[in-house]
A and B are shown apart, each in its own frame.
Chain A
Amino acid sequence: MGRDFFERRACITGIGQSDVGRRLGRDPLALTLDACLAAIADAGLTTRDIDGLSTYPGLGMGMPPGFTGAGAVDLHDALRLELDWYDSGLETSGQLGSVVKAAMAVATGLATHVLCFRSVWEGSAQGGAGRKGIGAGVPKAVGSMEWSIPFAAASAAVWIAMYAQLHFHRYGTTREQLAWIALNARRNAARNPQAIYRDPMTLDDYLGARIISTPFCLYDCDVPCDGATAVIVSARERAGDLRRAPIGIEAVGTALRGRPSWDQFEDLTQMANRDAARHLWSRTDLKPSDVDVAEIYDGFSYLTMSWLEALGFCPIGESGRFVDGGARIALDGELPLNTHGGQLSAGRLHGYGFLHEACVQLWGEGGARQVPGGPQVAAVAAGGGNTCGCLLLTRA
């Protein structure tokens, strides 16, 4: 690779996570602070060292209840940070877009140590009355939502279920295959003390669960929760004397070349992840076969299947057969997947949970769920539909 890819000048130097639970009943800013202060300490830094701040999605109008536990401004002020750069926003390459922007900031010299975080309190905010739809309680549907909400397509579950249905129809994928995304997540969550649902789940449990939106059942949908995750993105040249061996950002994938739409994308079994994944592999000499552990978004189970194909871990249309039986994606399989339990069992930390777990695995700190053999390369992917981004991380 002769090209100078900016992300090689950035690295991850610390991680932190708050308590995670269905309904913790704590101030979401307090949870966010727990995660952020833990990440800063993990890197061997103090708040004085933080000169950049990046979050997804930040504060904004019309966010669903609990979708954002704190904005950049909340952290900025609470910690009296003195920043050279700060950023948030929803219109980016998925949740990891905020990490890519941080990497750009340190690579360009705009900042040295960027605190990146994602905070949710959907568990408490939605209460005990069941998962609320997008658009529940709003007076009128505006923006891109005007094309879905009036038809009571009030959840990404409904939109993604349609992608899954077409995949089933075209490629012969079955619920028994899709189940392995959820079953594998639960199997791994049993080894993760921080996970929300740790009781064993069988294929019969899965097939007997109530249907949400065909072909999705309850266990195809992630678990709204309270919790926050933070990572420190540092300039590589300034990371040498920190507490940890930095994790390299080998490549980022941010592209979206198809239509930025849930219903107008050319091939309705694929998504923006097609372009983001292709982009990622164009920026590295590494290949899918070099990946030792994959932490791939499972807001809804089919998203993981779609990412597995997009990232080239299996051919297009083959993800059902790839995950079937669960051996290939197990901790000791050829592609250990969602080793902490994913969002399906460890809670909907919205993308950052996967990034956190990839770092845990590369640092060899997974405990009972540690992938054997000292993983050196991790793929992290988050998002779905028209908002997707991915990272390739390396131990070296």
Chain B
Amino acid sequence: MADPNVPFRVLPQLTDRNRAFWTGGSAGELRFLRCDACGYFVHPPAPVCPHDGGRALTWTAVSGRARVATFTVNHQAWMPGPPLPYVVAIVEIDEQASLRLMTNVVGCAPDAVRIGMPVRVVFEHHPDPEGDVWLPLFQPDAAREG
């Protein structure tokens, strides 16, 4: 039985390249592919480091802390999804400048979201016959406010 508190989502098609990202939430981890040699996080995942050309990369958990780089409060029902209005944001992951995710900011009123606001990851679990997915959403990180 689907959790009535979890909105309908079009889920990502899992592949060998992206599975570790979309299932990291099963272990409570936000993971990115990281170059073994230079430590650069590669996102979206690709089997080469654009920084030093390294071909050895390892899925690595980050802290899950980020800041809102920009956002929008969406009022339009484009398709089935979260209740309106909802916040779509691009967040920048603390561990690396310009390491970004498009996501939703949840756990606060849409009009409370600000550019630069500290947030932390929270996972939304979606059971799926082709393999469960944990979407990384972000909520205000009250401990780091101000």
Contact = CB atoms under 8 A, between A and B. Distances in A.
A150 B98 contact: no
A152 B82 contact: yes
B71 A162 contact: yes
A150 B72 contact: no
Contact of A212 (B76, B90, B102): B76
B23 interface: no
Contacts of B79: 132-133, 135-137, 152, 154
A264 B100 contact: yes
Contacts of B135: 150-151
Contacts, number: 124
- A-side interface mostly: loop
Contacts of B72: 158, 161-162, 165, 213-216
A213 B115 contact: no
A157 B76 contact: yes
Interface residues of A, number: 45
Interface in B7-33: 7, 9-13, 18
A166 B70 contact: yes
Contacts of A152: 7, 9, 74, 78-79, 81-82, 86, 88, 104
Interface of A: 130-142, 144, 146-155, 157-159, 161-163, 165-166, 169, 210-216, 262-264, 266, 268
Given A137-B79, A162-B89, A213-B88, 17 more contacts: A139-B10, A140-B10, A140-B130, A147-B44, A149-B10, A150-B9, A150-B10, A150-B12, A152-B78, A154-B79, A155-B78, A157-B76, A162-B90, A166-B70, A210-B75, A213-B73, A214-B74
19 contacts: A130-B77, A131-B78, A133-B78, A137-B79, A151-B102, A152-B9, A152-B79, A152-B81, A153-B88, A154-B10, A154-B81, A158-B88, A162-B70, A162-B89, A165-B71, A165-B115, A166-B70, A213-B76, A263-B102
